[in-house]
Amino acid sequence: MAKLDIITLPDRKLRMKSMPVERVDDDLRRLMDSMLETMYAAPGIGLAGIQVNVPRRIVTIDVAKREDESAEPEPMFLINPEILSSSDERATAEEGCLSIPEYFAEVERAASVRVAYLDRDGKRQEIEADGVLAICLQHEIDHLDGKLFIDHISKLKRDMVIKKFAKQARLGPKPPVL
């Protein structure tokens, strides 16, 4: 396993639509293990392939530690995930993204979703999720379609964030803090 580099705004690849996986094999499993390691190290609770420069429909998620730091890890590997249905009920929660570091905003989404996917053995699975997992699934599946959580906030706020990251990129990396 190897830690991968996470791409951030304003990298235009984040806007790409990712391609479906055709075969679940050892190469794919190795890649997803590296994604999981990268996600844990960041640290984050979800990571989509495109965030590590791989435009394929793969996602790793682990929300176990979100509520309880001492909880055992519960990694999920989702291949070609697809939202089958969303609740009419909505929920608002603060979100962040490893590709938009240090920015957080309230986002409204479906409170619960039903998602189909292939697991790491290529077996079809379905889950019904609510709470943090429902938010995370919607956030990560958005990534596969080139969508970011800032697309769900006001245009004014979104433009401010995009401008801030474009400016940072122009100025280059921040000087080291001594």
- The phi and psi torsions of 23 (rounded to 5 degrees) equal -140, 130
Residue 39 or 79 having the CB closest to Zn ion: 39
Say how far apart CA 164 and CA 168 lie, in whole Å.
6
* Residue 97 binds Zn ion, judged by CB under 5 A: yes
Residue 14 or 24 having the CB closest to Zn ion: 14
* Residue 115 binds Zn ion, judged by CB under 5 A: no
Q: H helices within the chain, ranges in order?
A: 26-41, 64-67, 131-144, 155-171
Evaluate whether 143 touches 51 at the Cβ level (below 8 Å). Answer: yes
Say how far apart CA 102 and CA 86 lie, in whole Å.
29
Residue 131 or 146 having the CB closest to Zn ion: 146
* Residue 6 binds Zn ion, judged by CB under 5 A: no
Tell me which residues are annotated as active site: 140
The footprint of Zn ion on this chain (CB under 5 A) covers a number of residues equal to 1
Place of tokens 């519960």: 74
Residue in the shown chain whose Cβ atom is closest to Zn ion? 97
| Two structure tokens written together for 125 | 């699975």
Residue 110 or 142 having the CB closest to Zn ion: 142
Evaluate whether 85 touches 27 at the Cβ level (below 8 Å). Answer: no
- Least Cα distance to 9 among 154, 155, 150 occurs for 150
* Residue 107 binds Zn ion, judged by CB under 5 A: no
Least Å distance, CB 143 to Zn ion, is 6
Which of these segments, 61-69, 80-88, 94-102, 153-161, binds Zn ion (CB under 5 A)?
94-102
Which of these segments, 1-9, 97-105, 117-125, 159-167, binds Zn ion (CB under 5 A)?
97-105
Residues forming the site for Zn ion (CB under 5 A): 97
